[in-house]
Amino acid sequence: MEYPEGLRYSREHEWVLVENDDHAVIGISDFAQNELGDVVYVEAPGLGEKISKDDPFGAVESVKAVSDLYAPVSGTVVEVNDTLPETPELINEDPYGEGWIIKVSMSDVAELDDLMNPEEYEAYCEGQDDDDDA
């Protein structure tokens, strides 16, 4: 399982990459794609739509289940990954790269402080694995 440096992670398994000042790229983590299995459909908001921290902003459908996407930060959508409708499997193949979902202009960069760093997130995921085995 990969937990790249330089990203921040939410408890709902989204990652955030801050590109410059207030622009952030959002996707789902390697842990999340592995739990979901084969992704077949991504429902993402359109350009200009607002997302707000901890609220659902879309959904990822795998063969086995549907999983809501929760906004790790608040902001306005400035870019949508338009390759995902045709190739949703990019989320499995490259969750931190070509499988990114949206880019937002953040409305409150202080919200980033609530997210986990890679080490914290890795420990968090390992705790969830233990829950699964229980």
Partner 1 sequence: MKRTPLYEVHRNLNAKFTEFGGWEMPLQYSSIVTEHLAVRSIAGLFDLSHMGEIEVSGQGADELVQKLSTNDVSRLSDGRVLYTLFCNETGGIVDDLLVYRHADNHYMLVVNAANIEKDLAWVETCNDTGAEVKDMSEDMALIALQGPKAIDLLNPFVPERDVSEIPYFRFTTGDVAGVPTAISRTGYTGEVGFELYVPAAYAERLWTAVGGQPVGLGARDTLRLEAGLRLYGMDMNDDTNPFEVGLGRFVKFKNRQFIGKSALLAHKRKGITKHIIGFQMLDRAVARAGYAIYQGDERIGSVTSGTPSPSLKCSIGFASIESQAVPENEKIDVEIRGKLHPAIIVEVPFVSIGT
Residue among 1, 2, 6, 37 that touches partner 1 (CB under 8 A):
37
**Residue 24 beta carbon to partner 1: minimum distance, rounded to whole angstroms:** 24
Which one of residues 6, 64, 97, 119 is an interface residue with partner 1 (CB under 8 A)? 64
Cα 42 to chain centroid distance, Å, stands at: 12
Per CB under 8 A, 41 contacts partner 1: yes
Q: Is the dihedral of CA 64, 116, 97, 85 positive or negative?
A: positive
47 counts as binding partner 1 under rule CB under 8 A: no
User: How far apart, in whole angstroms, are the C-alpha atoms of residue 52 and residue 32?
Assistant: 21
Rounded distance, CA 18 to CA 22, Å? 7
User: What value does the CA radius of gyration of the chain take, rounded to a whole number of Å?
Assistant: 14
State which of residues 55, 85, 109, 126 lies at the interface with partner 1 (CB under 8 A). Answer: 85
The angle subtended at Cα 11 by Cα 17 and Cα 114, nearest 5°, is 65
Binding segment for partner 1 among 56-64, 71-79, 103-111, 112-120 (CB under 8 A)? 56-64
Kindly tell me which residue out of 2, 38, 79, 108 binds partner 1, with binding defined by CB under 8 A: 38
* Distance (Å, whole) CA 68 – CA 60: 6
Q: By the criterion CB under 8 A, which residues form the site for partner 1? A: 37-38, 40-41, 43, 59, 61, 63-64, 66, 85, 88
